[in-house]
Structure 1
Amino acid sequence: MTDPGERLRALALGLPETEEGTHFGMAAYSVRGKGFASLTKDGRRVQLHLSPEETEAALAAHPGGERLERAGRTIGLRVPLEELDDAALAALVRASWRSRGGSDDPPSDLPTGIGRPATRALHGAGLRTLAEVAGLTEAELSALHGVGPKAVRILTEALAGRGLGFRRP
C-alpha cells in the first residue's frame, strides 16, 4: 500500500503551479502563494482549504473529518487519510487547489500588469496569449469592456518585446 503522505504529495504536485513546502512543520502545498493542502505532523490527516459549502459536503461524506475554523469562520476540513480512497482524496485536493486560485485553464502569457478586468475581458474573448492578442487590431482590443488605455499600452510593449504588434486594420 502506498504511503498516505506520498498519495497526497503525488496528487498535489500533479496539479499545475503547485509548490511544495512546510507550514508550521507540516508538509504543505500551495498554488500562487496560497496554501491549499497540508499533512498533519503525525502523517495521518490531511488539511484542506475549502469553501464552507464544500466543507459541509465533505463532512457529510467523511464523518471522521472535522471543520477547520479561523476567527469563527469555516476555512476547510481536516480528515483522516485512512477514510479517503484515491478518488475521494483526489477530488478534495483538486477542490482545495481550485479554491486557492488553481486553474485548469491553459497557461496564459498575458502580462499581469494589465489588471484583472482586462485579463478577464481577454480570457472572456478566448484570448490567453500575446500571439492571440496580436491577431486583433488596437481598436478591437480597446473595444473590449475592461480593457483601458493602460492595458493597451502594456500589451503594446509586451508585443513589441516579442517582435509582434497588433493586426493592421
Structure 2
Amino acid sequence: MMIRPGELAAIRAGTVDLAFRRWARPRVVVGTRMRTGIGLIEVTSVDRVAVASLRADDARRAGEPSLAALKRALAARSDDPAWRIGLAYAGPDPREALREAVPDADEIAAVNARLDRLDAASASGPWTRETLDLIDLNPTVRAPDLAARVGRETADFKKDVRKLKELGLTESLAIGYLLSPRGEAVVDAGLPAPRERAAREEGTPLPRNIGAPATRALREAGVTTLEHVATRTASELAAMHGVGPMAITRLREAMAERDLGFAG
C-alpha cells in the first residue's frame, strides 16, 4: 500500500488516520504493520464503503482538501470497490535500534550463522560477505554501480542488500548504502584488525525521497544532513540545479518532523 510522504507525516502527527483505495479485494488486513520512511504504520480497520456515503469528515481524516477532492481521487477504477482503511503511527522501525546495537561475540556468531544460511540458499553462490565488504569500502555509491562491480543485476543486488538490512547490518541512503555500527562490528570481527573508516556524519541524514539529482546537488554544496539544510533558505536550495519543488517540499516535511525549518 503506497502512502505519499506528506500523508505519512500527517499520520505520524495524528492529523490523518484514514486512507481510501479502490481495490478488487483488500490488500491489507487489520494489524498489518508497514515499514515507511517515518517508521511503522499500522492498519487499524479495513471496511468496504459506498462512495456516496462519504462525508466531509472522511475527507478531512484522509488529508484531502474537500469531500469533492476525495471523490475525484476515487473516480478512477470505479469498477473496483472502495475501501476505508484506518491507519495509525506505530512507532519507529525496530531496525533502527538494531542497527545501532553493537553485538557481542555470541551475537556476532549468530549473525554469521544467519549469513551462512543466506549464502547456502543462494543459487549464485556465497554473496553476503562480499556485499558487506563492497558497501563498507564504497559508501554512498549508487546501487547500479555497486552491482556492476560484482557482475550482478541491480534488482537482484538490491534484493540481497535488503536481506542484510533486515539483519540490521546496512543502512539505505538517498544514494547508496552504509554499513551500520552493527554491520561494521560483524565485518571487523572477520578481519585481522578493525578497518579504518571515515568518521560518521553527525546529524539526521537527508531523506531518501528527495531524489538522486537533489541529493547530489546538496552533497556537492556540503549539505549532507537536515541540520545543514536548516542553515539555508528555501530559495537558496531551490537555486541549486537538481533541487526542484518536490525536493523542497519533502525536505520541509522531513525537517518539520524534527522541529526544524529553512533559514530565514
TM over 0.5: no
Higher strand share: 1
TM-score if structure 1 supplies the norm length? 0.44
Q: TM-score w.r.t. structure 2 length?
A: 0.29
